[in-house]
Amino acid sequence: MSTEVQQSKPDSWTKRIVLTVMTAGLLAGVVVVALDSLDRPAGSGTLSISAVTGSLTLEPLCDESVTWDLPAGRVGRRSVAPGEPGYMTSAGAVTMMLAAGSRARVTSPDPGVLRVSVEKDDELARRCPSGAHQPYRFVLDGGPTVADPVGFNYESRTGTQTGPNRISLPISGHLIIGQAVPEGADWRARLAPILVTGSILRRVKPWFSHDVLTVGDPERLDEGSIVDSHACLDSGGPGTSPASGCSAEQLAPAIGFIRTLSEGELQVQMYARGPASLQNYRGPQHLVEVPLSTALWESDTVKLWGAFFLLLFACLEQITQVIRETYNLLRKGWDKVINRVPPVHPETQGSGVAREHAPIGGSKPAEPASAIERYHLLEHVKPPDRKKTTR
């Protein structure tokens, strides 16, 4: 018997340890999954990006297009060498249509001057299952131009009094602001940053709310920064080309506008969904995003329920004690109702000796059930006093 008891104790301790380890592992797994989920970008998070730069690169995403109505200027075909016949064409009104598979780089080198370089990118076109047959088109003075497989260069006219001093164009797609461009054409060329200044604001819609809030401090863009609206910068290069792992099918377009400034630079104002990558010139890059935890912490409803549960947890001991006392009182009352004592007859009140019942049918009287009843029986049936009976 003792051997079985000794063997059962180690078994019970082993079961308790295994159960404790399994519970701790389950709780740790739940915590890890919860933290990983809260660290993901919030679906309602947006980035408001404002910058002054000398360069902007636009890549339209799948199933979308961008149309620019440009002022009078000159359009050059990139398949023809500069200076040869057919290279440059002048027009009073230029309409440029960009679709998926095209890449346009916009610069403003001088006040009131806008330059646009358009080219076709086969890799961008392959990312979209339904890519456009013509990723870009130019319409000059109402008539379409001959398609060029290499691309076009556009430059607005300068010195004209009739042309606008400022040009504003809509943008939508994959945007790179402040792209570093090479200076010079030989091995001594260096990369010069051309983003001047700017900032990024994080905006989010809290849980169970319809209002959009600005959260955190603005992310300042120092001179020489490069901002990619879809976090697709190639970490192996200086940030001039997108990484191959960036899929245009899963990206939401960054939308906004660009405007030429009188100083000869571009003012960019746009909104981007999801994380954007920020990289200083020849420096490390990091993601700028609005995590799901921010949308959770900024929710007034979550704060209210969190305060309620914290108060409940702080008073848990008192609440448990009250519940325990209430349970004990109810249990005692219920036991009294179940185990009710039968009423006492009047003839038996005041006497501490229970009456003996006469035997039925010659049977023996029942023996006392307890030591107290035996004691009372012995006190009740005492032997007579010998001094009084003997003479």
Residues 243 and 320 in one domain: no
Residues 66 and 137 in one domain: yes
Kindly give the confidence (pLDDT) of every residue in the chain, 391 residues in length, as a single tens digit, with 9 standing for 90 and above.
555 545 566 677 888 888 888 888 888 887 777 766 666 777 778 899 999 998 899 999 888 899 999 989 999 888 888 778 878 888 888 999 999 889 999 988 877 788 999 998 887 777 777 655 788 999 999 888 888 888 899 998 764 444 456 788 999 999 999 875 555 444 444 445 578 889 999 988 888 888 888 888 888 888 888 898 888 655 444 333 444 455 555 678 899 999 988 777 899 999 998 788 888 766 777 888 888 787 787 887 888 888 888 888 888 888 888 888 888 888 887 877 777 655 555 555 554 444 444 455 555 555 555 555 665 565 555 555 555 544 4
Sign, CA dihedral 367-370-374-377, equals negative
**Token pair 């709310």 in the structure block, residue:** 209
Residues 58 and 119 in one domain: yes
Question: What region does 332 belong to: left with phi over 0, alpha with psi -120 to 50, or beta?
Answer: alpha
Q: Last residue of a domain, which of 236, 267, 291?
A: 291
Q: Supply the pTM of this predicted model.
A: 0.66
Report which secondary-structure segment, H or E, holds 154.
strand 151-156
The CA-based angle 299-278-221, given to 5 degrees, is 90
244-275 CB burial, b ≥16 within 10 A, e <16: eebebeebebbbbebebeeeebbbbebbbbbb
CA distance 46 to 43: 8
Longest dimension (CA), the chain: 169
- Quick one: tokens of 364? 């023996």
Residues 251 and 306 in one domain: no
Residue 154 resides in a domain: yes
Q: Please provide residue 165's backbone torsions phi and psi, each rounded to the nearest 5 degrees.
A: -75, -25
Sign, CA dihedral 209-214-216-219, equals positive
CA distance 241 to 228: 10
Percent helix, strand, coil in the chain (nearest 5)?
A: 25, 30, 40
Residues 165 and 262 in one domain: yes
pLDDT at residue 58, rounded to an integer? 93
Q: Note down the domain range covering 305.
A: 299-334
Residues 276 and 312 in one domain: no
pLDDT at residue 339, rounded to an integer? 73
Q: Are 241 and 234 in contact (CB under 8 A)?
A: yes
CA distance 3 to 14: 17
pLDDT at residue 316, rounded to an integer? 81
Residue 358 resides in a domain: no
Residues 160 and 249 in one domain: yes
pLDDT at residue 69, rounded to an integer? 93
pLDDT at residue 258, rounded to an integer? 93
Residue 128 resides in a domain: yes
Residue 89 resides in a domain: yes
Residues 154 and 226 in one domain: yes
DSSP 34: H
Residues 330 and 227 in one domain: no
Locate all alpha helices (DSSP H) within the chain, ordered by sequence. Answer: 2-38, 122-127, 292-297, 300-314, 316-338, 371-380, 386-389
Residue 4 resides in a domain: no
Enumerate the β-bridge partners of residue 209.
none
How many domains does one find in the chain? 2
Residue type, 291: P
Residue 360 resides in a domain: no
Q: Are 238 and 180 in contact (CB under 8 A)?
A: yes
Residues 241 and 129 in one domain: yes
Q: Last residue of a domain, which of 282, 314, 334?
A: 334
Residues 91 and 229 in one domain: yes
Residues 87 and 231 in one domain: yes
223: burial class by Cβ within 10 Å (0-12, 13-18, 19+)? middle
Residue type, 329: L
Residue 21 resides in a domain: no
Residue type, 273: R
CA distance 181 to 108: 13
* Beta strands at 190-192 and 102-107: parallel, antiparallel or unpaired: unpaired
Residue 162 resides in a domain: yes
